[in-house]
Structure 1
Amino acid sequence: MMPITTHADEIELTAQQITDWPDAEEALARLRQRPPGAPLVFSTPPLTRTVPVCRRLALLWLDAQRIRDEDRRYAVQLVLSELLTNAIQHTRSPRVTCRMWRSGDLLHLEVRNQGGTWSIPWANRAKDANDHGRGLALVAGSARGWGRHFGAEGDCTVWATVPLARSARHGFRPGQ
Structure 2
Amino acid sequence: MLPTAQSGAQVALSPLEIEQWPHTLAARYLTRAWPKGRPASFRVPALERAVPVCRDMTRMWMDAGGITEDNARRTVLLVVSELMTNAIIHTNSSTISGRLRKAGERLVVEVRDEGRTSAVPRARRADDTEYGRGLVLVIKSVQALGTRLETDGSRTVWAWMPTPR
Please tell me the TM-score bracket, short chain as reference. Answer: 0.7 to 0.9
Question: CA offsets, 1:3-59, max 9 Å, x none?
Answer: xx348642001110110111332222341xx3x321010000000011111101000
Whether the aligned pair in 1 keeps the contact of 2:14 and 2:44 (CA below 8 Å) is yes
Q: Mean alpha-carbon deviation: is it higher for 97-106 or for 69-78?
A: 97-106
CA distance in 2, matches of 1:101, 1:107: 6
In the alignment, does 2:89 pair up with 1:94?
no
In the alignment, does 2:35 pair up with 1:26?
no
TM-score, normalised with respect to structure 1: 0.78
User: Any runs of at least 4 consecutive aligned residues in structure 1 with deviations exceeding 4 A, and if so which?
Assistant: none
Distance 1:104 1:152, change over 3 A: closer
Question: CA offsets, 1:70-105, max 9 Å, x none?
Answer: 111001000110000001111112110000101233
For structure 2, the residue ranges without an aligned partner over 5 or more in a row are 120-127
Corresponding residue for 2:37? Answer: 37
The amino acid across from 1:108 in the alignment is V
The amino acid across from 1:158 in the alignment is V
CA distance in 2, matches of 1:130, 1:77: 20
RMSD: 2.0
Corresponding residue for 1:170? Answer: none
CA distance in 2, matches of 1:141, 1:42: 25
How many matched pairs? 150
